[in-house]
Structure 1
Amino acid sequence: MNGKSGVGLSRRRRRIRRSVVWMGLGGVALIAGAYWLERSRNTDLANPEDSVTSQFVHSAERESAIRYTDVSDQSGLSMRHGPGARQRLLPEDTGSGLAWGDFDGDGDWDLYAVNIPGSDPTEIGTNRLFRNDGGRFVEVGEGAGVADPTGFGMGASFVDYDGDGDQDIYVTNHGPNRLFQNQGDGTFVDVAQAAGVDGDAWSCGMAWGDVDRDGDLDLYVCNYLAYEATAAEAAQAQTSEFGEASVPYTLNPNAFDPAPNCLYLNDGRGAFVESAEGCGVLNADGRSLGVTLCDLDDDGWLDLYINNDVSTNRLFRNLSGRTLRGEHRSLRFEDLSPITGTADPRGSMGLSVAELGHMSEQYDGLPDLFITHWVAQENALYQSQRYPSGMFEYRDKTRQRRLGEIALDQVGWGCALIDMDLDGQVDIAVTNGSTLEEPKDVLRLQDQAMFLFQAQGQRFWEVAEQAGPSCARARAGRGLAAADYDGDGDVDIALLENRGELVLLRNDTLTDNLSLSIRLAGPAAQLLGASVEVQVGPRTQKLWLGGDVSYLSGHAPELIFGLGPQATADQVRVRWADGTTLTRDGVGAGRQTLSYP
């Protein structure tokens, strides 16, 4: 964000700084020894400096069939984010996100979009809940009780937190968060305070999952800054120069202390117990914006990867279920960031997870990470490497995959790892939008066009301009959430602009490729964190339900796999959150629901 430190820090210097941090972590010495022993056996690890340098490619060097059309107006989606004039305060530039879910249980995806208030008390920015009626949307937020007119909205997620079969909504705010419990009749009641998950911090990203495997969903919440600046202070603040822009301290996250995060453990009776410090995941120096709960090491337990802003990212491995001298550990995490190559000190915003086996020489079944960053910092693609000992690491493949230098001028936010053309290769969608102000109008932020990266072989090609004018249009993008909202088998994209519009991009890609859409049914705690593998010929694809978290947003809980021209997947394998597995052979294209045994 504005005024971030380390913008000009070279990759080599960043690695040196990471090494210094690692050297001070005596508590991981034994783990580090095993890691370096494994690493020494593999001489092919890619260093960022040795990678193939990407070119400044702003359009594909070959023809792309990917097409997206803006259907916001005709579908009934109408919302203006951020009423009133901008005040040059960081919270208003940070939000907001949006989330897909099925709150009424009719089988199609509804959309919840988060808003912020204006500077005047009369300028109320209410959140919106759009009910999907066969591809047309009707706004029902106020009547449903989820408009949150007093909130300062950041992010949202749909989740069946109480396991009663319908989807509730959790909203993070600059201020108390909301947990809207679905009453089953089209209305919701805020139970955040009673459940103990309201908080009083500036909260941003969140992730749900059963981290202790006790049969109910727990919640991890990212808290950003201890921010207390006012509009009056912003108007009087001295500014620092960044290029042609003058930035007041009220827009600089380095000017404020970080806020510790929260891990809320579900007690199974409708309440949560905050346990971050005791479990080792407080991340008190983090300035956190996003988080995923995903089984990163494939041991059957959910781990944490946290995106921090102007602070080092964190990878916390869940130690539950492991033994030490024959005794079972209680719920506890260890920080493996330095030795796994993920202690990224840049300004990290968006986060997506998928297995990019088609980009690797060998499929390893572990999640790969895509992370969006601030201007001049490039985005990052970390591809996993599994070792026989059970250790793992991530290699920075950003430049080799042509994702690096093209992003230097952009500020990346929401993102998704999705197969846009259904060819069996995962593509990448990113919404961009600067936090730097227009030089001639400091109350406006600079707009930027989004990225659509199409996978072709072992590289990506940026095709947004070819995809249509709605993709090439510059905007102050923030949230991005993917869903097949119209049920035609391909992946559509919703975007939310900061102080702009809610945008729905319908996938109109020119292809005869087929897809397999997987919905999982069963206890809520078994769904989030579950993985699905689809094998078509020699290629295996793998996605994690709830792992791909974008920025302050939630994708629809449906995993869509491209089959190419094939009408049938050879095999589908599901591993539920508790380790239970399900295998189906010869699964036909279309939408399939697989139920927990």
Structure 2
Amino acid sequence: MSLFGDIKISRRVRKIWLSAGAVLVLTGLLAGGILWFEAARDTDLTDPTLNVTATSTEETDSNVPAFAFTDVAKELGVAMRHGPGPRTRSLIEDTGSGLAWGDFDGDGDFDLYCVNMPGPEGNGGGAQAGNRLFRNDGDRFTDVTEAAGVADAQAHGMGASVVDYDGDGDQDLYVTNFGANRLYRNRGDGTFEEVAAEAGVDGAQWSTAATWGDFNRDGHVDLYVCNYVDYDAVDFDTSSMSSAMGPFGVPFTLNPNSFDPVPNHLYRNRGDGTFEEVAQALGVDDPKGRSLCATFCDLDGDSWLDLYVNNDVSTNRLYRNMLGEAGAESTGEPVPFADRSAMTGTADARGSMGLSVGEIGAMVDRLDGLPDLFITHWVAQENALYQSVAEEDGPVLYLDKTRQFRLGEISLDAVGWGSVFADFDRDGRIDIAVANGSTLENKDDPKLLRPEKLFLLWNTGARYQNAASHAGEAFDKRYSGRGLAAADFDDDGDVDLAVCINRGAPLLLRNDTQTDNGFFKVRLDAPAAVACGARIELTLANDDDDDDDAKTSTQFRWWNSDASFMSGHAPEALFGIPHSWHVRRLQVTWADGTHSTLDAPQGLRVRVEHDGAN
């Protein structure tokens, strides 16, 4: 006899009910942890016997810059609403969405693409439905969505990424959805052609984020797509599945543990406009992961792009590209990636959302030129800052520096999403911005989620301090933030931010911070296959020392590798130049292992071409 007798229910609901006991046990443990955490707020958190994160970095530092960010979205014409209509307690609604910057019309400034969803699930389009493309006209933005043909009004949009995948010189657009994904090929005349099915990259799952890189160095940029969970909205009634997460009040239908993970895709670019799916063959499909973000980046400095994948309530993956090993290509057979997650110390099984790539080694006098990782997490799970450590002739390992740099306790109250490493005050040190927004429901009105403030984490040189209270009105408000994308959209030399607000209007935060520090911009005029994942190294010298033994300082950026959350930063590397310093040398290490070097480059903006030289 069936355990459920003659009651007709779906397999999905049956699975959820069967797992209820286990979830309730875990809930009890988690509730105890949260209650302890709340009690610990009244204790001395510096007591080493407690083994908890160091105290919050909210204390005032007299040297905090007078940051100034102004939300100019409405003023400049970036007008839309994410997910119009009331919230219906759907995991799809609560997860999205992202946004991406790109120069789609080739005029030199950055346009903004905002991903959307059609409103209440099952209700179709509705007012302001569809994604929006805002063209940057210099002094304001113009909505050119309909003319460009990139609205996709009926899709449940998740993320966006920008790349010239076909090598014709125009930036194309890939959009992930709950359902079929879209590949918009830029025709170069202000319009796009949707070619995902023709190219073989449409998919049929719940896709979240995508990243591009030429992993096999064949001259064609490849595509990795993150898939989340096997979610079937018709299998259950969301109104009947209440309070499964105990003190959090989270329904089973909003808990990703209730759903099976879905394997990811790696699409190898054939070079003829089509792609071949090779994820399983190369060991990067991650069938047990619930993936929300990924990046192609050379993590170990061997000039081959590796792959890092953020998973929600599943183990994160660091896949090492083995093509650089001696004799790897001689067999003629596909060479799988190697899972080095546990070995490197990055097998994090928390709820991982956002991912940023940067170099923080200068904070501990260990600048090795290898990328470090910043990962945002769910509530009560502190964000993570992993510093790379490379020993001679040994593997690259990662040390969790979250507590040392005071990034722990401050993030325990928040659910972090999109993020970016950027130098917001141009002092030569990389800061961090984070879009926060809880997935816990408002106890007074469960149709609403609890809004949270953004983080602006200022790099003091020895630690990070949340400088949001010094950054203007926009950082003092609370939002349901999701995707975050950085760009100097007004070309004034500082980093601005666009933030997707779940079920709200986007933020366009113009950086109006006043500083005597300078800036230096780099753009790569090169095919995506060699540009994506390229390392840009900038060496500065003090103005008072002109000889070869002058004191120097080095900064790094990685092209198209700082992933955020389902979003894309502008294709430009912006460096801060502290007062009384100047640029001595610029070196680009391309994704194919070759180098381009400029000694004492002149001006504030340079374009670097790939010449294939070593």
TM-score for both structures, normalised by structure 1:
0.90
Match of 2:156 in 1: 152
CA distance in 2, matches of 1:309, 1:122: 29
Task: Decide which of 199, 208, 211 is 1:207's aligned counterpart.
Answer: 211
Shift of 1:159: 0.9
Give 3-state SS (helix, strand or coil) of 1:516's partner. strand
Structure with the bigger percentage of strand: 1
Matched, 1:562 2:576: yes
What is the letter of the counterpart of residue 560 of structure 2?
G
List aligned pairs for 1:444-593, cutoff 5 A.
444-537=448-541, 538-566=552-580, 568-593=582-607
In 2 relative to 1, CA 53–84 (structure 1 residues): closer, same or farther, beyond 3 Å? closer
Cα deviations by residue, 1:59-79 (Å, 9 ceiling, x for unpaired): 543332222111112211111
Structure 1 range deviating more: 113-122 or 402-411: 113-122
| Cα distance change on mapping 1:7 and 1:353 into 2, 3 Å | farther
* 2:600 pairs with 1:596: no
Question: Which residue of 333, 342, 353 corresponds with 1:349?
Answer: 353
CA distance in 2, matches of 1:220, 1:588: 37
Q: 2:337 aligns with which of 324, 333, 336?
A: 333
User: Per the alignment, do residues 364 and 464 of structure 1 end up closer, same or farther by CA in structure 2, a change over 3 Å counting?
Assistant: same
For 1:407, which of 406, 411, 419 is the aligned residue?
Answer: 411
Partners of 1:166 and 1:51 in 2: how far apart? 52
Q: Which residue of 1 aligns with 2:41?
A: none
1:56 aligns with 2:43: no
Residue 229 of structure 1, CA deviation = 2.8
Q: Shift in Å at residue 493 of structure 1?
A: 0.4
User: How far has the Cα of 1:326 moved from its partner?
Assistant: 9.4
* Separation (CA, whole Å) in 1 of partners of 2:344 and 2:474: 39
8 Å contact 1:157–1:171 — kept in the other structure? yes
Aligned to 2:181: 177
In the other structure, the counterpart of 2:91 is 90
Distance 1:415 1:49 in 2: 32
- Pairing 1:117–2:121 present: no
| 8 Å Cα contact 2:31/2:246 also seen in 1 | no
Q: Give the fraction of aligned pairs with identical amino acids, expressed as a percent.
A: 53
Q: What pairs up with 1:369-380 in 2 under 5 angstroms?
A: 369-380=373-384
- The one-letter code sitting in structure 2 at the alignment partner of 1:549 is A
Calculate the aligned-residue CA RMSD, in Å.
2.1
Aligned partners of 1:148, 1:466: CA distance in 2, in Å?
39
Give the conservation status (yes or no) of the 8 Å contact 1:89–1:231: no
Q: Per-residue deviation at 1:54?
A: 2.5
What is the alpha-carbon distance in structure 1 between the residues aligned to residue 488 and residue 225 of structure 2?
27
Question: Which residue does 2:44 correspond to in 1?
Answer: none
Whole-angstrom distance in 2 between the partners of 1:530 and 1:279: 23
> Structure 1 unaligned runs (5+)?
11-47
Check if 1:430 corresponds to 2:431: no
3-state secondary structure, aligned to 1:536? strand
Please tell me whether the aligned partners of residues 175 and 201 of structure 1 are also in contact (alpha carbons under 8 angstroms): yes
Q: 1:327 to 1:249 in 2, by over 3 A?
A: same
Q: How many angstroms does 1:567 deviate by?
A: 5.8
Label 1:568 to 1:87 Cα distance change in 2 as closer, same or farther (>3 A): same
Contact 1:411–1:435 (Cα < 8 Å) also in 2: yes
How many angstroms does 1:526 deviate by? Answer: 1.2
Query: 2: distance between equivalents of 1:281 and 1:58?
Result: 40
* Residue 290 of structure 1 pairs with residue 293 of structure 2: yes
Amino acid at match of 1:264: Y
Q: 1:311 to 1:232 in 2, by over 3 A?
A: closer
**Cα distance between partner residues in 2 of 1:132 and 1:325:** 46
Inter-CA distance 572–432: structure 2 relative to 1 (3 Å threshold): same
User: TM-score with structure 2 length normalisation?
Assistant: 0.88
Deviation at 1:8, TM superposition (A): 7.1
**Cα distance in structure 2, aligned partners of 1:170 and 1:595:** 25
Q: Secondary structure at the match of 1:247?
A: coil
Bigger shift: residues 325-334 or 110-119: 325-334
For 1:25, the equivalent position in structure 2 comes to none
Determine the C-alpha separation between the residues in 2 that align with 1:515 and 1:390. 36
Quote the offset at 1:155 in angstroms: 0.2
Is 2:315 the partner of 1:312? yes
State yes or no: 1:358 paired with 2:344: no
Give the Cα separation in 2 of the matches to 1:73 and 1:593: 32
After superposing the two structures, state which structure 1 stretch, 126-135 or 58-67, moved more. 58-67
Distance 2:50 2:256 in 1: 32
Conservation of the 8 A alpha-carbon contact between 1:7 and 1:375: no
Inter-partner Cα distance in structure 1 for 2:52 and 2:335: 42
Aligned length in residues: 559
Greater shift in the superposed pair: 339-348 or 350-359? 350-359
Matched, 1:381 2:385: yes
Q: Report what 1:40 is aligned to.
A: none
Q: CA deviation at 1:331?
A: 3.2
Structure 1 CA distance, aligned partners of 2:537 and 2:435? 27
> 1:518 corresponds to which letter in structure 2?
V
Pair 1:374–1:169, CA change in 2 (3 A): same
* 8 Å Cα contact 1:229/1:250 also seen in 2: no
The 8 Å contact of residues 212 and 331 in structure 1, kept in 2 or not, is answered as no
